[in-house]
Chains A and B, each alone.
Chain A
């Protein structure tokens, strides 16, 4: 169930609104005798709204399932969604993310949270959550700074890890793919591109570092403006340098255009990216034949095609009327971890406190959709599997079907 934080605002609310609310809106917390609250924070306004919704759905699905079974040791889970996107920023807004972190901390019933989507928001939230000792699990923010021990003083001033991930950081995704390029695809020269975003730049940086160690020659690097339409210039430059491969760090806003135009200009070159190019737009927006042969990675073990996943995907689609992506899975997994932690802390009639839930998450060992999950002391996944996919249009399925991403295997870790 979803509870919107309304009551607080009665004092400052618009008179008419208050009158309306009094009659209809309030589903008081105290009506359920036993419940805990989990906050969700995604960028529901602005540029990243679509994938935000998919993640939010994934998390809600897990909690709804648990509640339908009568809750966890009798505790029902109340979900409070927050939006860290604002029209002011046109996308995620770190200031709003910080406000949301405070909202979560100041709601005493909140024992854990899922989010945020973007690392920029995470950086603003982490210090506040650390102060409140409230654990948050991100299904998608992959910038390594926040869980990097070097910045511990800023992002976990209270000492304990509170920022967990059910997704591997760029610090693994980029380098493992570099290994794959060198060892499996035998790439000798590569041209690097990024999309100017924090995720894309970080990913390309990480790839570059490992690629150089592996002896791959970086023949050039360019930064794409995601708002611009034309990448033929840079692709012509790449064509003239004739590297073995392109590696693209970035998301699909620029990725779609890059894929389309690179098919026109350098159709035979090996092309790949991170989880940013793993998404339905690559299939519908780029479409056959331009998307053929693209490599993508996902920062978790690949499970969606396996038998137990088929059922899950069906259930997700039935419930929300959209296809899940892998971040819907990692969001579902984050919820699974939190449910496990609540279960562990509420055994034997104990009350699951915020501090107890954090410690339980730190110690968790639980089977999720992506496989067994446990965290290291920084909050990162112990298991750092990077799955590699390649797009090949399958005759038996529709072009939009995510199964056109064919699983190749796990990328080499060294």
Chain B
């Protein structure tokens, strides 16, 4: 394997990771932009999403990697799985917001953040206690198609991840920039009081933000399962932390920033693993987080956070 092929392969790996981190980072960014709340429950909404996706695929009769589909049936199955997963994950986000966060809307201090940690623990343990601690073999109907680029290999599932992620992110971007609700969201992020006075239903905006963020996390969970052919109750923590770092790096509250941050963190992980050592990956990523926060707290693309202190 030549060095350039190696670099190419690690770039492909990094971009795939980055696409997943970006999807997850978007949820952090949406909620943080509006509520200034780090939502730790998001970590495990992602995890639950990957299980929802698994069950949906299994209900459609797909088990393990034995069933391989092509053409229209494949597209149909993928769309149904994606739709169901996003809908249910989004619903989960809405339930979390309604039951545990709305009552704390006007409470100062770390109360809301502590609550999200509690919710995260609850989701984690419900899955652990119901489906068990063992890793699950993820149903995957994708045909094993791959293309050789020199010694590097590009597989269908990588292309699929990129396409789905980019489409979802574009969709979100258009929604936030163009739609009426998107404008209301941006207005609320700028100044909730003023937005409320201008007739924006802030509670609704927050619900929508939770729904979209959680739905994207669910999609991320499904993609995760399809990419790695496995899922387990434990996948939320590391992925969530890295995605949060991505959101901060890109500029928290900034939708394109989250995508950029995700891709950068993905590439850092793959290149760091190649040229430094995997055992230091977490240290490298957290160092980036700290450095960004110290020297450029608004992130690479971020707006300056409105001073609401």
Direct contact of A and B (CB under 8 A): yes
Q: Which residues of A contact B (CB under 8 A)?
A: 47, 49-50, 196, 222-225, 227-234, 236-237, 239-240, 242, 252-253, 256-257, 260-261, 264, 280-281, 284-290
User: Quick check: B234 and A237 within 8 Å, CB to CB?
Assistant: no
In B224-239, the 8 Å CB interface with A consists of: 224, 228-230, 232, 234-235, 237-239
Interface size class of B (residues with CB under 8 A): 35 or more
DSSP majority for the B interface? helix
User: Quick check: A261 and B228 within 8 Å, CB to CB?
Assistant: yes
User: Quick check: B278 and A229 within 8 Å, CB to CB?
Assistant: no
CB-CB under 8 A from A196, the residues of chain B are: 279
User: Quick check: B279 and A287 within 8 Å, CB to CB?
Assistant: no
CB-CB under 8 A from B115, the residues of chain A are: none
Pick the contact of B228: A47, A229, A239, A252 (CB < 8 A). Answer: A229
A232 (CB) vs chain B CBs: closest residue: B13
Q: List, sorted by A's number, 10 A–B pairs whose CB atoms are closer than 8 Å.
A: A225-B279, A227-B238, A229-B224, A233-B273, A252-B134, A256-B232, A280-B134, A281-B134, A281-B135, A285-B230
- With A47-B133, A225-B279, A242-B1 in contact, is A230–B229 under 8 Å at CB? no
User: Quick check: B237 and A227 within 8 Å, CB to CB?
Assistant: yes
Q: Which residues of B contact A (CB under 8 A)?
A: 1, 6, 9-10, 13-14, 16-17, 64-65, 132-137, 155, 224, 228-230, 232, 234-235, 237-239, 269-270, 272-274, 277-279, 281-282
Pick the contact of B64: A252, A261, A264, A287 (CB < 8 A). Answer: A287
- With A230-B228, A260-B229, A261-B228 in contact, is A287–B137 under 8 Å at CB? yes
User: How far does the Cβ of A83 sit from chain B's closest Cβ, in whole Å?
Assistant: 15
User: How far does the Cβ of B24 sit from chain A's closest Cβ, in whole Å?
Assistant: 12
- With A230-B228, A236-B9, A260-B229 in contact, is A223–B279 under 8 Å at CB? yes
Q: How far is the CA of A236 from the CA of B13 in the complex (A)?
A: 9
- Among B6, B237, B274, B278, the one with the most A-chain Cβ atoms within 10 Å of its Cβ is B278
Q: How far is the CA of A230 from the CA of B278 in the complex (A)?
A: 10
CB-CB under 8 A from B282, the residues of chain A are: 225
Q: How far is the CA of A339 from the CA of B235 in the complex (A)?
A: 43
- With A229-B235, A242-B1 in contact, is A290–B279 under 8 Å at CB? no
- With A233-B269, A285-B137 in contact, is A227–B234 under 8 Å at CB? yes
Known: A225-B278, A286-B135. 11 other contacts (CB 8 A): A222-B279, A223-B279, A224-B278, A229-B238, A230-B269, A232-B270, A237-B6, A257-B228, A260-B229, A284-B134, A287-B65
Q: How far is the CA of A230 from the CA of B228 in the complex (A)?
A: 8
